[in-house]
Structure 1
């Protein structure tokens, strides 16, 4: 019988920032300022990655690269990636503190898991400097994992590399990947978990993959909500997630299912 010892959470779109809008809005803005408008879907596709890798991934998308060549008369370069990232970082730092509200059911779920002896880790696509803004504001609102690893601590080998999970396991003194659950809201989170060999759980409502704000989701009809949920669930399942949950309130049941295997 497996006994889960720890849960490692993603941050934006999983634990805080319903819909993961803090980075998305900035990605849209910096490309628009560069004269190359991108769609919301394109901006969200690489979500969960280290942000400079996210920009690099967007520039590799055929449609965006074609528009870039039309505007600049050449292919994008690493200098362009660096210039866009510099703008991204400056603009994100200004707005990050506003996107730190815990997503519904997160605080209660974390409290319950801790009361049952589980350790709470975390990984993110944000740098350490970005998280230095997010962490204290989230803590003021009641959310604080036992440990945080950013790509900055693993030589910028962020998702889908598994090293942030392994560093959590080292610091939390965990020996067995089969006793660790990773919860995230993007396909990059799922890939990170699978590459580490831990249990991969995709959370649907509030996720970047769903891409709706709390108000937008609340405004949907019951049928529209179910359609959005199933569409997002299928994305996670195609990526190889072991489980999906609609909200964090269902996580404890997933852990129970794993424990009785």
Structure 2
């Protein structure tokens, strides 16, 4: 087994913002302002990407593309993407601080990893400006990774490109990708991890892929929780995930079976 050197977490939906609702709310409101009402599935499908790329991906979806052309009489272009993104950024910045509560098990898991000398890194689909808000509020709640990098740090090359993970690895001077783990709550997170050649883990509860608030999830029957978990697991598996965990409490036991943790 290889010695574990660093664990790199995503932010919204993985360590903060149970259900990843801040960007979802902002994306939905922006498209509605432009006369297009997206479904929650359409909003969440590109989750984890650089936010401008997320908007571009949504505009290319067949149903949304058709609605746009019917409304505006032409296909969407780069200027439209810029207009949507400008509005999105303002809306998200205005609500971000309300979506920074730490997810269950995160603080305890990070404490154990640090006690073992393992570095805590992070990547995100947010910009540096957005992260200034998120990082500050998360620290007030007790969570502060050793490093974080946004696509602003990698020439706008966000997920699924591996460069944000590489920046973390460089910051921690890890000996190889074999000793690094990526944990995230979207297909984009898994693809990012696989692109970087690191062990990639998807988390189910509170994830964007699950798309439920904690209250909604807790209200489900055991059978329905299992059914929805299976659907999320299948998405992660299709993206190439090396493992899937139900919640953060499952991370340490999993890692101890795969890596040397001193």
TM-score by length of 2: 0.98
How far did residue 178 of structure 1 move? Answer: 0.6
Counterpart for residue 84 of structure 2: 84
CA distance in 2, matches of 1:174, 1:61: 39
How far did residue 231 of structure 1 move? Answer: 1.2
CA distance in 2, matches of 1:157, 1:96: 22
- Deviation per CA, 1:36-60: give whole Å up to 9, x if none: 1110000000000000000000001
CA distance in 1, matches of 2:246, 2:230: 9
1:17 aligns with 2:17: yes
Counterpart for residue 28 of structure 1: 28
How far did residue 99 of structure 1 move? Answer: 0.3
CA distance in 2, matches of 1:5, 1:153: 22
How far did residue 96 of structure 1 move? Answer: 0.0
Counterpart for residue 139 of structure 1: 139
- Deviation per CA, 1:47-91: give whole Å up to 9, x if none: 000000000000011110000000000000000000000000000
The answer (yes or no) to whether the contact 1:3–1:258 under 8 Å persists in 2 is no
Counterpart for residue 55 of structure 1: 55
CA distance in 1, matches of 2:183, 2:154: 20
Q: What SS class does the counterpart of residue 181 from structure 1 fall into?
A: strand
Counterpart for residue 255 of structure 2: 255
CA distance in 2, matches of 1:184, 1:239: 12
CA distance in 1, matches of 2:33, 2:104: 34
How far did residue 256 of structure 1 move? Answer: 1.1
The answer (yes or no) to whether the contact 1:31–1:38 under 8 Å persists in 2 is yes
Counterpart for residue 187 of structure 1: 187
The answer (yes or no) to whether the contact 1:18–1:207 under 8 Å persists in 2 is yes
Kindly report the root-mean-square deviation, in angstroms, between the aligned alpha carbons of the 2 structures: 0.7
CA distance in 1, matches of 2:77, 2:154: 25
CA distance in 2, matches of 1:230, 1:4: 28
Counterpart for residue 119 of structure 1: 119
In structure 2, list runs of 5 or more residues that go unmatched: none
Detail structure 1 runs of 4+ shifted over 2 Å in the superposition: none
Counterpart for residue 239 of structure 2: 239
Q: What SS class does the counterpart of residue 36 from structure 1 fall into?
A: coil
Q: What SS class does the counterpart of residue 2 from structure 2 fall into?
A: coil
How far did residue 175 of structure 1 move? Answer: 2.3
Equivalent residue pairs, number = 260
